[in-house]
Amino acid sequence: MWDIVVGIVAIVLGLVLVFAGLRFFFAALPILGFILGFLIGGAGVNAIFGDGVFSTITSWIVGFFLGLLFAAISYLWWYAGALLAAGSTGAALGTALVRAFGSDARWLIFLFAAIGFVLFIAIAFLLALPVYIVLVNTAFVGATVVIGGLLLVINKIDRADLGYGNVVAIINESWWWTIPMIVLAIAGIVSQLSAINSIHLQEEKWVPAQPV
């Protein structure tokens, strides 16, 4: 039951990110921040106590409040939200890489997720292209979240799989999921590019995003 609920919520939020990540810039980054914090919180409880991700009330509470914290950071400092968006993609790819080699070692998964997170944040920061960072990352992260939600709804994965990159690994292992994810992400990028000329961000990076 809870898998279906989480799956439906993930699909809805994912679609918002895919097609409206740039158009609704103020809402998109906090949503992405909340999703990232929620997953990190659930995975953190699992890593510490050994429980399944979101299999206990504690993991839900920790994930919820960490999600609120990340959402607040993304709202108060829009550039931090953009960098978190890039980092979330790197973390997902890092965990998927470990899964692709068949390893379930928590420390190794955490290590590669952390490396991917920091690496993608550094690249995004050095490139200094925040609008395109938001556009591409919200499209691909949103598409991944949608597929993850769908996998939950049709009982292909459990909630416990959300915190360790299984969604990305499953997508990478099967063309049945890779193609829909890529098509959805590209559709989102094309949709958001149509609105890019109307999106302008102030030069000050460490403030809430406001239209200028």
Q: Considering only CA atoms, which of 201, 91, 173 is closest in space to residue 137? A: 91
Rounded Cα gap, residues 38 and 44, in angstroms: 10
Q: 57-86 pLDDT, tens per residue?
A: 877 888 889 899 988 998 888 888 888 878
C-alpha separations of 1 from 6, 88, 154 in Å: 9, 27, 11
Rounded Cα gap, residues 22 and 100, in angstroms: 31
Q: 44-60 pLDDT, tens per residue?
A: 776 666 666 566 787 78
- Which pLDDT belongs to residue 119? 92
Rounded Cα gap, residues 59 and 168, in angstroms: 21
- Which pLDDT belongs to residue 87? 84
Looking at every residue in the chain, the average pLDDT score rounds to: 79
Rounded Cα gap, residues 155 and 136, in angstroms: 29
> Is pLDDT above 80 for 22?
no
The SS3 call for residue 211 is strand
The mean per-residue pLDDT over the stretch 91-120 comes to 80
Q: At what angle do helices 57-76 and 25-49 cross, to 10 degrees?
A: 140
Helices of type H across the chain: 2-20, 25-49, 57-76, 78-100, 106-127, 130-153, 166-173, 175-193
One-letter amino acid identity for 208?
Answer: P
- Which pLDDT belongs to residue 205? 75
